[in-house]
């Protein structure tokens, strides 16, 4: 089967055509071609993009933080672009790739800080009576060690005695 797929692909048939001819799934054809390409048996064809004549304009507009929708509309009006919006949107997303969000690594000394949180867990029957219960969670910032206990009120002064 690998040989048949390879031969048909080299003759210029696309994946869908090969799949129909061999009566196999298109994903199977794709997988075989990827394996053949990985081993250097098949070269991937580079097709010209419908956007090639407009890429410089799109890059400039994207650098001005214009949306893909706006760029698409401008291309249609100013240049008579006849391609799809999705093609423009994918290209703009690729060139705009958002920079990673900045974050700061916080370091703490041993025992310097802990984070405390409460979460309501419902009612629990205690001595024949239903009482509202919360979960108290304290996480030490240095070690990330977590202390968890069920409490019956969500006031910090009650938890200072734990």
Tens digit of each residue's pLDDT (9 = 90 or more) over 95-152 = 887 666 778 888 889 888 999 898 999 999 989 999 999 999 999 999 989 999 999 8
| Within a domain: 77 | yes
| Within a domain: 22 | yes
- Tell me: do 154 and 130 sit in the same domain: yes
| Within a domain: 146 | yes
- Tell me: do 118 and 84 sit in the same domain: no
| Within a domain: 69 | yes
For the chain, how many structural domains are there in total?
Answer: 3
- Tell me: do 155 and 122 sit in the same domain: yes
List pLDDT tens digits, range 27-71: 998 898 888 877 776 666 667 889 999 999 999 999 898 999 999
- Tell me: do 153 and 126 sit in the same domain: yes
pLDDT-derived band at 11, boundaries 50, 70, 90: confident
Residue ranges in 11-122 assigned as alpha helix (H): 15-22, 26-38, 55-63, 68-79, 85-96
Q: How far is CA 89 from the centre of its chain?
A: 16
Q: Can you give the CATH number for the domain in which 23 is found?
A: 1.10.10
| Within a domain: 45 | no
- Tell me: do 30 and 59 sit in the same domain: no
- Tell me: do 29 and 58 sit in the same domain: no
| Within a domain: 44 | no
| Within a domain: 134 | yes
**Residue 65: which domain range?**
52-96
User: Is residue 151 within 8 Å of 159, Cβ to Cβ?
Assistant: yes
Report which DSSP code applies to 4.
H
| Within a domain: 43 | no
> What does the alpha-carbon distance between residue 134 and residue 127 come to, in Å, rounded to a whole number?
17
């Amino acid at each position: 089967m690998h040989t048949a797929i390879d031969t048909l692909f080299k003759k210029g048939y696309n994946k869908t055509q090969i799949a129909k001819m061999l009566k196999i799934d298109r994903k199977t054809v794709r997988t075989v071609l990827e394996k053949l390409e990985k081993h250097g048996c098949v070269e991937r064809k580079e097709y010209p993009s419908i956007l090639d004549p407009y890429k410089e304009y799109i890059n400039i507009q994207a650098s001005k933080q214009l949306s893909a929708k706006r760029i698409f509309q401008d291309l249609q009006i100013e240049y008579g672009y006849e391609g799809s919006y999705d093609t423009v949107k994918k290209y703009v997303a690729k060139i705009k790739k958002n920079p990673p969000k900045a974050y700061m690594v916080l370091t703490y000394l041993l025992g310097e800080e802990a984070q405390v949180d409460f979460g309501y867990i419902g009612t629990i029957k205690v001595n024949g009576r239903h009482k509202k219960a919360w979960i108290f969670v304290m996480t030490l910032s240095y070690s990330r060690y977590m202390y968890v206990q069920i409490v019956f009120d969500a006031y910090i002064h009650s938890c200072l005695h734990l």
